[in-house]
Structure 1
C-alpha cells in the first residue's frame, strides 16, 4: 500500500469522523427545538381546540345556514343560495339599523377614548390617594355589562327611576329616558360609565412616555397643552389605535339596548327605542322574535365582512400618524 493511498484513507476517515461529530452536535439541538415546539403546542392546545370548536365551527355552520331558510326547529327547510343576501341588501330596515350603528360607533368611540385619556391624565398626576382614585374610577369597568345595563335601566325608569326622582324634586316633569329621543343619550352614558378600562390602558401608555422629552419641551418654553399635543399624543398613537379598533368592533356588536329595553328580554327586542334599534338588535329580532336563522346568519356574516373592511381602512389611513417607540438596539 502506497503512502498516498494511506493518506487518502486517513483523510476520508477523518472527514467521516468530523461529519459524525457534527451530526452528534446538531442532534441534541434539533431535539431541544422539537421539545420546545411540542411544549408550546401542548400548552396552547386548549386555546386552539376551543378556537376551532367555539369559533371556526360555528362560523362555518352560520355560513351554511345563511344559504338556507332554516328556522331552528322545523326540518322543512330549503336551500335558497344567495336569496337571504339579496333580501338583506333590499331591506330598508337593515340599512337603517346599519346607519344607526355607524352613527353610534362614530359618536361613542371618540367620546369614550377622550374620557378614558382625560381620566388617565388626571390620575397620572402626583395626587394624594392616587391609588384610591384609580381604583374607584376603574371599578365600573369591572361590573358585567348585564349588571350595568340593568342598573341603568333601574336608574332611568320612568316611574321609579332615581333620575326622574331628582327631576320631580326640583319641579320638572318626569321623562321617558328609555324611549325616544332620550334613549340614545342613556346608551352613551352606559358606554362612558365604563371608561375606566380605557383609562387603565391609557395610563400604562402615559407612564411609558419618556420624562426627558417633557422636560426638554418645558425648557424650550412649550405650554402644557402643546407638550401634550406634540409629544404625549404621538407617543400614545399605538395605544389610541388599539383602542379605536377594539372600540369600533365592540360598538357595532353592542347588545346594551336590549338590556335597556322596557321589556328587557329577547322577545321584547322590538320594544327597543327606534334610535337604539341598531344592527345587532335587528339580528336578535330575526333570530329570536321571528325565528329566521338563515336570514339572521346572513346578517352576521355581512357584519363580519364589514368589520374586516372597517378595520383594514383604519389601519390604512392611520399608518402615517402612528409612531412606534422602538429601541434602536432592538433592530440589530
Structure 2
C-alpha cells in the first residue's frame, strides 16, 4: 500500500508539472494569440462581411447585396488588367530575387579577403525602410535632376522620363530588388549547413564545381529555395507601398495618379477603398485575391515539394516519435 501511495503521489506531481508547463506555454504565446485574433482573424472576418454589402465607409447602415460584389469584380476588365500586371511583376521579380540571392550567396560563401564587409554591404539595403528606399530611388530616377539621367547625359544619351509611361515599371522592379540581401542571408546560412563530407565525396568521384553544385549543393538547399519562392511570391503579389510612392503626385492625389504600368492589384484595391468609397467591392477584391494566393501557394507546395530533397522525411520523423 505504501508503494501505491508513493506512485500516486508521483503521478499527481507529474500531472501538476504538466499543467504548469502548459499554462506557462499559453501565457508566453498569449500576446501572439491576441495579436493574431485582433489583427488577422477579426479583420478577415469583418472584410468578408463587408464584401456582401454595398457599404461606402460612411453610411451608418450596410445593405446586403449577397454575391453582387464578387460578380462585379469577376466581370471588371480593370480588375483583370491589374491582376495581369501583378502577375507579370511576380514573374520578373521572383526569379531575379531567387537567382540573384543564390548567386550572391555563393560568392559571399567563398573564403576571400574582406568577406564580412562584403556581406554587410549586401545585407544593408534590406534593413532600409521601404518608404525611404522608394523615395530615394524616385529621386535618382527623376527626369530633370536624377543621377540616372545624369549618367546617361555623360554618355550622350537623352534624358528618360522614368516615372511616367511604361518605364515606371522598371523603376518598381529596381526598388523591389533593392532588398535582395535578406534572401542572400538565408541562402548563405543554407549553404553553410551543407555537409562538407558530401562535397569531399563528390570531388573523390571526379565531380567538377558545376556538377557538385548541381547534384550536392542544390538538392541540399532546395527546402530553403522552396521557402523563398513561396514567401517571395506572396510578398511581390501584395506589393503596394513602392508602387504608390512612385506616383508623380503626392498626398491624396497619389492614388489616382499612379501610372497605368504600376496600377497593380493592391493599388486598385486601395483606390476602390479610399478614392471611390466602394468598401464592399474592395473587400470582395481582397477576398478573391486571398483565395487566389492560397490556391497558388498550395499548388507551389505540391509541385515544388516533389523536387525538394529532405535529409529526414518529415512524415516518417513524426510517426517514429
Sort the TM-score into its range (normalised by shorter chain). over 0.9
One of 178, 181, 189 as aligned partner of 1:196 = 181
How many Å separate the matches in 1 of 2:39 and 2:252?
A: 22
How many Å separate the matches in 1 of 2:42 and 2:101?
A: 36
| Paired position in structure 1 for 2:224 | 239
Residue 49 in 1 paired to residue 37 in 2? Answer: no
TM (normalized to structure 1)? 0.91
| 1:126-185 deviation per Cα after TM superposition (whole angstroms, max 9, x unaligned) | 011111100010000000111111111111011211111111222211111112221221
| Paired position in structure 1 for 2:274 | 288
Give yes or no for contact 1:267–1:288 (8 Å, CA) kept in 2.
no
How many Å separate the matches in 2 of 1:223 and 1:201?
A: 25
Gaps in structure 1 of 5+ consecutive residues: 1-13
How many Å separate the matches in 2 of 1:317 and 1:327?
A: 17
| Paired position in structure 2 for 1:272 | 258
User: Would you identify which runs of 4 or more consecutive aligned residues in structure 1 move more than 6 Å?
Assistant: 327-330
| 1:23-46 deviation per Cα after TM superposition (whole angstroms, max 9, x unaligned) | 211000000000000001111111
| Paired position in structure 1 for 2:298 | 312
- CA separation of 1:288/1:119 partners in 2, compared to 1, >3 Å: closer, same or farther? same
| Paired position in structure 1 for 2:65 | 80
The CA deviation at 1:265 is 3.8
One of 26, 37, 43 as aligned partner of 1:58 = 43
One of 157, 174, 178 as aligned partner of 1:172 = 157
Matches within 5 A, 1:256-271: 256-271=242-257
Give yes or no for contact 1:178–1:262 (8 Å, CA) kept in 2.
yes
SS at match of 1:318: helix
Residue 157 in 1 paired to residue 169 in 2? Answer: no
| Paired position in structure 2 for 1:251 | 236
RMSD of aligned Cα (Å): 1.8
The CA deviation at 1:18 is 4.5
How many Å separate the matches in 2 of 1:120 and 1:151?
A: 26
| 1:246-270 deviation per Cα after TM superposition (whole angstroms, max 9, x unaligned) | 0011011001111111114453223
The CA deviation at 1:309 is 0.3
TM (normalized to structure 2)? 0.94
Q: Structure 1 residues 149-158 or 271-280, which shifts more?
A: 271-280
Gaps in structure 2 of 5+ consecutive residues: none
How many Å separate the matches in 1 of 2:291 and 2:207?
A: 45
How many Å separate the matches in 1 of 2:9 and 2:104?
A: 60
How many Å separate the matches in 1 of 2:268 and 2:230?
A: 23
| Paired position in structure 2 for 1:325 | 311
One of 114, 131, 148 as aligned partner of 2:116 = 131
How many Å separate the matches in 2 of 1:159 and 1:76?
A: 50
Give yes or no for contact 1:101–1:278 (8 Å, CA) kept in 2.
yes
The CA deviation at 1:76 is 5.0
How many Å separate the matches in 2 of 1:93 and 1:128?
A: 53
| Paired position in structure 2 for 1:10 | none
How many Å separate the matches in 1 of 2:57 and 2:47?
A: 12
SS at match of 1:133: helix
Residue 211 in 1 paired to residue 196 in 2? Answer: yes
| Paired position in structure 2 for 1:11 | none
